[in-house]
Structure 1
Amino acid sequence: MERVSTEALSAFAVFAEHLNLTKAAAALHISQPSLHAKLAALARQLDRALYERVGRRLVLTPEGEAVARFARDRDERLHRFLDELHDLPTTRPIVLAAGHSAYLHILGEVIRSTLAARPGSLRLMHTHRHQMLSAIRTGRAHLGVATLDTLPDDLEHVPVATYGSVLLCPTGHPLAERDSVTLADLAGAELVVPPPARPLRVTLEKALRDAGVAWTVAVEAEGWPLTVHFAALGVGLAVVAGCIEPAPGLVAVPIDDLVGVTYHATHRPGALDDPRVAALLTAILDHTAGSGAGRPRKIRTSGTPAT
């Protein structure tokens, strides 16, 4: 096997970030043909295809993901070594990947305090769970936070918060007067639900099926904010995590017999060897430990419903 070019590895790490030859070449300040030649040489040296075209998109092959991860780890270790050698503070930011629900309801205070103490020390990626897992695997992110229907064996996971499930219903709805409800109370209901295959949708459908409860889809909504908005418009009832604040005109009623929603922090094996990643995870765990996660209480908001 030919000797692997470290310059080509660094170029591939940038390409893997953009998955676009033009953008990656611009970021590297080289021509597109020059970048293409470096990537071709690297693939030849490794005797593996590193990316392929799927439709109009370029995607990494499994071997390409492994090479991208190695290249990013190598660059990061080199920067950390040089910073330590010259007794300089580490300037490369920790990358945190999460979806809007985690950012809105779990990570906000941690992000604020981290950036206040060390400006520029944190970079954020807005992802859904599959994108988060891909970012962790390829080394584009150090730490991810999301709800997961399964826990991949190749990554490490730490539960950071579990919230009981609640039913959002209008203040005038018969169930709004209850201190809690059960799945049987949802018989015949029209529900605002996530798209198919989302963790909550899978859990909710199975639980309702096991309980013998018939229901219908009022609308499929992506994300908690839109789900709450549809419920406030009167489109249907909604089952959400207990960390979600109901909109004006809605009541959040705990559901007794539905499992809660657990958010996990995910990272690659060995990631916590970096003290900055370990410190960020500790900060998240410390924050959620005092956030009141657990069985929800009934919440009634004042104000008028959305129009």
Structure 2
Amino acid sequence: MDLGRLSTDALASFAVFADHLNFTRAAGELHISQPALHVKVRKLSEAVGRPLYTRHGRRLALTPAGERVARFARDLDARMTSFLAEMDGTAASRAPALAAGEGAYLYLLGDAVHPGVRLINGDRARTLAAVRTGRADVGVAVLDVLPADVETELLASYPQALVMPDDHPLAALPRLALCDLAGAALVVPPPAGPHRVTLERALRAAEVPWSLAVEAEGWPLMLHFVALRIGVAVVNGCVPPPPGLTAREIIDLPAVPYYALHLPGRADDPLVTGLLSAVRTAVRSTPCISRYPSTSTPRPRPSGTS
């Protein structure tokens, strides 16, 4: 590694690129040409001696080395900002940054989301990357495997539940099993997403036949299609059914664990502790599907419903 070739300008530019993972948008924010940004990143990669990003089709992702370089670049910028503020006789400050996905923001985080917090929206991979690179102080995500390079705290585990119209035959049951979904037309996320993969694997293992009603991205659109009676949907238990729809826990699907995550060594950082406190409070006030009372009178389990 040739440390003498590390450029503070290239580091700052790479931090912006790491935010976007898109050369066009990053170059626009930096007010430089896209080829110029490519040169900066390439030279920085040569100085470090490792590739800083990989390309998967049209999608870019940081390598572990790229995450470390982005984190170093942000740390350097923060130290420079603090130094200049000290020299100027002022106090350096910044807003805490929270990273999470659409579902967490809509149904889980509540009052933790306010104008004093800088919000970063992304899927699980982008949330992890935001924390690893220092872009986010705290992330909230569903984790099936706990990463070794970040600190994690279990916030809550929610059952998975079937959402259906109030007058659906299965709504008469207080809880459901996978076998009750036999023959159901399901509203599901697009293929390869973690929720879709887990659900399909469970249905296949239980030998439960089902049909595709429609693919929809995100809980709100899935619930919209259920309200239109296009099909029924399996959602996380923190997603409340809107008026006209009912949710019932599916007892033999695994619970969905939401974790807060931050970089090691930042447990005493006020930016982290303040966000964690707000996130914990918000999660504690989130209703759970299994706590919703059954509004229908239980009756014998129906057969052949869809």
TM-score by length of 2: 0.81
Map of 1:149 onto structure 2: 144
- 1:222-248 superposed Cα distances (whole Å, 9 cap, x missing partner): 111011111111111111122222233
CA distance in 2, matches of 1:56, 1:186: 37
Aligned residue number for residue 266 of structure 1: 261
Decide which moves more: 123-132 or 142-151. Answer: 142-151
Identity of aligned residues (%): 52
For residues 29 and 212 of structure 1, what CA distance do their matches in structure 2 show? 56
Report if aligned partners of 1:171, 1:250 keep a CA contact under 8 Å in 2.
yes
Q: Separation in 2 of the partners of 1:37 and 1:166?
A: 50
Distance in 2 separating the partners of 1:25 and 1:209: 46
The one-letter amino acid paired with 2:157 is T
Structure-1 residue corresponding to 2:154: 159
Which residue of structure 2 aligns with residue 178 of structure 1? 173
C-alpha distance in 2, partners of 1:245/1:103?
13
Which of 131, 135, 141 lines up with 1:140 in the alignment?
135
The aligned runs of 1:188-207 (5 Å cut-off) are 188-207=183-202
| CA distance, structure 2, for counterparts of residue 170 and residue 32 of structure 1 | 50
Question: 1:105: Cα distance to partner?
Answer: 0.8
Letter paired with 1:211: A
CA distance in 2, matches of 1:291, 1:54: 37
CA 1:293–1:80 in 2, change beyond 3 Å: closer, same or farther? farther
Per mean C-alpha deviation after superposition, the further-off stretch among 44-53 and 248-257 is 44-53
Measure the CA separation in 2 of the matches of 1:42 and 1:230: 48
Question: Unaligned regions of 5+ residues in structure 2, if any?
Answer: 297-306
Q: What is the CA-CA distance between 1:55 and the residue it aligns to?
A: 6.5
Distance 1:199 1:20 in 2: 24
Q: Which residue pairs with 2:44 in the alignment?
A: 42
Partners of 2:150 and 2:167 lie apart in 1 by 46
Report 1:1-307 matches (<5 A): 1-3=2-4, 4-19=6-21, 24=26, 27-28=29-30, 38-39=40-41, 41-51=43-53, 60-80=62-82, 88-112=90-114, 115=115, 121-293=116-288, 295-298=290-293
- 1:118-159 Cα offsets, whole Å, 9 max, x none, are xxx421112111221222222222222122333222222212
Gaps of at least 5 residues in structure 1 are 116-120, 302-307
Q: Write the distance in 1 (CA, Å) between the matches of 2:59 and 2:160.
A: 38
Name the CA distance, whole Å, in 2 between partners of 1:89 and 1:146.
33
TM-score by length of 1: 0.80
Instruction: State the 1:262 CA deviation.
Output: 1.9
CA distance in 2, matches of 1:279, 1:191: 40
User: 1:23–1:258: structure 2 CA closer, same or farther, 3 Å change rule?
Assistant: closer
Contact 1:254 1:296 in 2 (8 A): no
Rounded Cα–Cα distance in structure 2 between residues aligned with 1:123 and 1:153: 26
Distance 1:238 1:36 in 2: 44
AA in 1 matched with 2:216: A
SS at the partner of 1:271? coil
Q: 1:81 to 1:262 in 2, by over 3 A?
A: farther
| 2:221 partner letter | L
2:220 maps to amino acid: P
Q: What is the CA–CA distance in structure 2 between the aligned matches of 1:52 and 1:150, rounded to whole Å?
A: 22
Determine the structure 2 residue equivalent to 1:304: none
RMSD, aligned CA: 3.1
Residue 287 of structure 1 and its aligned partner are, at CA, apart by: 2.6
Corresponding residue for residue 118 of structure 1: none
Q: d(CA) in 2 for partners of 1:299 and 1:89?
A: 54
Instruction: Give, in whole Å, the separation in 2 of the partners of 1:32 and 1:199.
Output: 33
Partner amino acid, structure 2, of 1:153 = A
